[in-house]
Amino acid sequence: MPADAVIGNAAVEALKNLDPHPGVAKPDPVLVADGVVRQFGGLRAVDVSHLEVQRGAITALIGPNGAGKSTFFNVISGFDTANEGTWSYNNQTITNTAPNKLARRGLVRTFQLTKSLSRLTVLQNMLLGAKGQTGENLFSAIFKFSWSAQEQANTKRAMELLGRFNLAQKSADFAGSLSGGQRKLLEMARALMLNPDLVMLDEPMAGVNPALKQSLLDHIRDIREEGTTVMFVEHDMDMVRDVSDWVVVMAQGAIISEGTPASVMRDQRVIDAYLGAHHDDALTDSGQSLTTAEETDA
Amino acid sequence: MDFGFILSQSLTQAIGVTAIIYCLAAIGLNIQFGYGGLLNFGQVAFVAVGAYAVGVVVVEVGLSLWLAILIAILAATVLALLLGVPTLRLRADYLAIVTIAASEILRFLAKSFDFLGGSQGITGSIGGDFSDLNPLPDWERFELGPISFTRVDMWLVLAGWLVIAILTVLTFLLMRSPWGRVVKGVREDEDAVRSLGKNTYLFKLQILIIGGVFGSFAGMYSAIAKGAVQPDGFVPDFTFFLYVMLILGGTARVMGPLLGAAIFWFLLVFVEQFLKEGVSSGVITFISTTQIGPVRFILVGVGLMALIVFRPEGILGDRKELMLDAR
Ligand SMILES: Nc1ncnc2c1ncn2[C@@H]1O[C@H](COP(=O)(O)OP(=O)(O)OP(=O)(O)O)[C@@H](O)[C@H]1O
Ligand SMILES: [Mg+2]
């Protein structure tokens, strides 16, 4: 889709000229969050004063364990309720809107702990993602002729997507029989069945082998070329550097830095809070890598 | 011992009125629990509502049975809404608590209201309109191999299995559709299905209503067959027998409730008749006639435990599917 690709590139280009600071305004935001607070008892798990997500770009959300990234995703996508704040999607307020409504409007998310539907087959998992199915109406359901054509079209699309995610030969297996990494792939493919406008992926590459990670990165780029905005949480900085147009860094619930991958990785606050001083070193010789790994986790 | 007699008694019960009543209610529970994962521990409440609705409308009000059936379906729908609307947004266990409580509350209410017959229940010609339709020839008995029915019973059994067939086909049609896929998805992980844009609350409400209406058919059928509605027939044990039948036949299998109900009643009656014959002919000496009732349940219970150990997926279930969660 050349036309979309141009839009995507324009969106990406626009980001390069921004002054990178937390809460910076984007030229064409698809998602805007204001003063979003989610408290668990005394803990402010999320405390985001302002965040805009650029349409058509790939935005990475990074930060230490427990920073509040997943909670932020949960709140925005309607699976959790915020204590304070407002947020809007495509210029419409969606504060505390039910997740199923958001998904139908194109805001689709995946989960850090995969939610594959074990006792449905891989293909049935995919078909659940298709929108506007006549056969999901109780009365039409009884009459197969009313939904079989649509079902065939959906099946065709599902099989194409499964092929892209190396799952086509698994389509008839129960999703519960997939490996952890395959479930991640299935969940991402299933989200794409909805033709999302904005897809929020919570650690889509955790537990996926390196070769497949590379092809996942290609998929994520493809999704962007098709005009979908991607926001994803990831701990692997190589992946983040490779694919993202913009990086948002969270720590202790708040956004502490924003910018292009290169600028964020130079930011002293990000190095202190998340990356650790040795993040640029190759993790080859064992003595050095152990301390680095520890510092990164801390 | 007369094994021919034991066998014919057991077979009669396996396809007879009691098995049909339980089978109808189990088909409904299979939709709710087997396919949708709803923990309805008060299916007997829907059975009671069906029975009382036709009992009251036909005997007390004096309207036709066919109108009474419509009213019973409506009543079951209302009960499903009352139980489901407040609880289905909450965690799954809330429905379990509310349904079991509701079924007991309804039973006690029925016992304390005079127009519901009090603890005596309602007796009368509830199935008159139904018997009038009996198309069978005027024979003494209807022989089916080793078993035989009277004309009245034969008509009851035929009609009962016809209704079972209709509800089973309906279940099959629904569960192979995209609607059924969403229902099964809700059983597996409701949040995942919500993230795919489905209003899971509405689907759960729909299966609670459908399963409840199917359950009310069991009550209507029982009232018609017995010509009576008795409150103490609607104890919580009824629901737990249904669960036993579902697990026995295989949950989330279209034919599971049929097989489960038939086998359950076959076993129960077989053991009972076997013990009776054994005691009266002096072969079995360690129990007395009065102990047969409890002992048959003990034996059937042991048999079911063996089933859970050796074939936990039930007769029609898929072992591979069951083992998925063990990972
Ligand atoms: N349901 C909950 N109840 C209480 N505390 C919670 C709950 N969910 C999250 N938290 C807390 O909120 C904080 C943020 O958690 P969150 O899962 O959002 O972190 P995260 O950034 O996604 O971390 P990770 O990178 O490990 O996935 C943590 O301190 C966590 O303990
Ligand atoms: Mg997380």
pLDDT above 80 (res A31): yes
pLDDT at residue A279 in the model: 63
pLDDT at residue A136 in the model: 94
Average pLDDT over residues A241-269: 88
| A38–chain B Cβ distance below 8 A for any pair | no
Task: For residues A76 and A94, give the distance between their C-alpha atoms in angstroms, rounded to a whole number.
Answer: 8
| Structure tokens belonging to residue B138 | 């005027």
| Average pLDDT across chain A, whole number | 86
For residue A5, name the pLDDT band (cuts at 50, 70, 90). Answer: very low
| Average pLDDT across chain B, whole number | 92
Stated as kind and residue range, the H or E segment containing A31 is strand A29-40
Average pLDDT over residues A212-223: 87
- Tell me the nearest-neighbour CA distance from B208 into chain A, angstroms: 13
Q: What is the DSSP letter of B325?
A: G
Which residue puts its alpha carbon closest to atom 7 of ligand 1? Answer: A40
Task: For residues B122 and B228, give the distance between their C-alpha atoms in angstroms, rounded to a whole number.
Answer: 5
pLDDT above 50 (res A132): yes
Residues with CB under 6 A from ligand 1: A 40, 43, 45, 63, 65-71, 112
Domain boundaries, chain B: 11-235
| B192–chain A Cβ distance below 8 A for any pair | yes
CA A69 to centroid of ligand 1, rounded, Å = 8
Share of chain B above pLDDT 90, in %: 68
Opening angle at CA A257, ends A255 and A259, nearest 5? 125
Instruction: Identify residues whose C-beta is under 5 A from ligand 2, the ion.
Output: A 70, 112
pLDDT above 50 (res B138): yes
β-pair partners for A88: A32, A93
Task: For residues A72 and A81, give the distance between their C-alpha atoms in angstroms, rounded to a whole number.
Answer: 10
Instruction: Kindly report, residue by residue over A267-283, the tens digit of the pLDDT.
Output: 777 777 777 766 655 55
Q: Select from A115, A144, A132, A136 the least CA-distant residue to B206.
A: A136
- List Cβ<8 Å contacts ≥24 apart for B203-206: B203/B36, B203/B179, B204/B36, B204/B38, B204/B84, B204/B88, B205/B80, B205/B81, B205/B84, B205/B85, B205/B88, B206/A138
Average pLDDT over residues A47-57: 92
pLDDT above 50 (res B46): yes
Angle between helices B43-55 and B200-226 (to 10 degrees): 50
Q: What is the DSSP letter of B16?
A: S
**Pair B40, B208: CB distance under 8 Å:** yes
Phi, psi of B243 (to 5 degrees): -60, -40
pLDDT above 50 (res A124): yes
Average pLDDT over residues A190-196: 94
The ipTM estimated for the assembled molecules is 0.88
Instruction: Kindly report, residue by residue over B180-238, the tens digit of the pLDDT.
Output: 999 999 999 999 999 999 999 999 999 999 999 999 999 999 999 999 999 999 999 99
pLDDT above 70 (res A264): yes
Q: Do B173 and A177 touch (CB under 8 A)?
A: no
Task: For residues A122 and A169, give the distance between their C-alpha atoms in angstroms, rounded to a whole number.
Answer: 10
Burial class from Cβ neighbours inside 10 Å (0-12, 13-18, 19+) for residue B176 reads: middle
Highest mean pLDDT among A235-244, A278-287, B93-102, B313-322: B93-102
CA A202 to centroid of ligand 2, rounded, Å = 7
| A21–chain B Cβ distance below 8 A for any pair | no
pLDDT above 50 (res B67): yes
The length of chain A, given as a count of residues: 298
| A128–chain B Cβ distance below 8 A for any pair | yes
pLDDT above 90 (res B93): no
Q: Is the dihedral of CA A68, A70, A76, A82 positive or negative?
A: negative
Share of chain A above pLDDT 70, in %: 90
Q: DSSP states of A150-200 as a string? A: HHHHHHHHHHHHHHHTT-GGGTTSBGGGS-HHHHHHHHHHHHHTT--SEEE
pLDDT at residue A2 in the model: 45
Which residue puts its alpha carbon closest to atom 17 of ligand 1? Answer: A70
Task: For residues B93 and B100, give the distance between their C-alpha atoms in angstroms, rounded to a whole number.
Answer: 11
**Pair A186, A175: CB distance under 8 Å:** yes
pLDDT at residue B64 in the model: 95
pLDDT above 90 (res A15): no
Q: DSSP states of A229-288 as a string? A: EEEEE-S-HHHHHHH-SEEEEEETTEEEEEE-HHHHHH-HHHIIIII-TTTTS-S-SHHH
Locate the chain A residue with the closest alpha carbon to B199: A100
| B40 Cα distance to chain centroid | 13
Which three-class secondary structure state does DSSP give residue A95? coil
Which chain B positions have a beta carbon within 8 Å of A138's beta carbon?
174, 179, 206
pLDDT at residue A200 in the model: 95
pLDDT at residue B3 in the model: 84
CA A216 to centroid of ligand 1, rounded, Å = 26
pLDDT at residue A263 in the model: 86
pLDDT at residue B266 in the model: 92
Count of beta carbons in the 10 Å neighbourhood of residue A2: 6
For residue B325, name the pLDDT band (cuts at 50, 70, 90). Answer: low
For residue A7, name the pLDDT band (cuts at 50, 70, 90). Answer: low
Instruction: Kindly report, residue by residue over B147-196, the tens digit of the pLDDT.
Output: 889 999 999 999 999 999 999 999 999 999 999 999 999 999 999 999 99
Whether pTM exceeds 0.80:
yes
Q: What is the DSSP letter of B253?
A: -
Task: For residues A176 and B38, give the distance between their C-alpha atoms in angstroms, rounded to a whole number.
Answer: 20
| Structure tokens belonging to residue B271 | 């053991």
Q: Atom of ligand 1 at shortest distance to CA of A253?
A: 14
Burial class from Cβ neighbours inside 10 Å (0-12, 13-18, 19+) for residue B251 reads: buried
Which three-class secondary structure state does DSSP give residue A107? strand
What is the set of domains in chain A, with CATH numbers? Answer: 3-116+198-275 (3.40.50.300), 120-177 (no CATH)
Q: Do A194 and B197 touch (CB under 8 A)?
A: yes
- Tell me the nearest-neighbour CA distance from A142 into chain B, angstroms: 5
Task: For residues B268 and B248, give the distance between their C-alpha atoms in angstroms, rounded to a whole number.
Answer: 13
Name the residue of A38, A47, A62, A69 to mutate for ligand 1: max ligand atoms within 8 A of Cβ: A69
pLDDT at residue B38 in the model: 95
pLDDT at residue A167 in the model: 92
Share of chain A above pLDDT 90, in %: 56
Average pLDDT over residues B250-269: 92
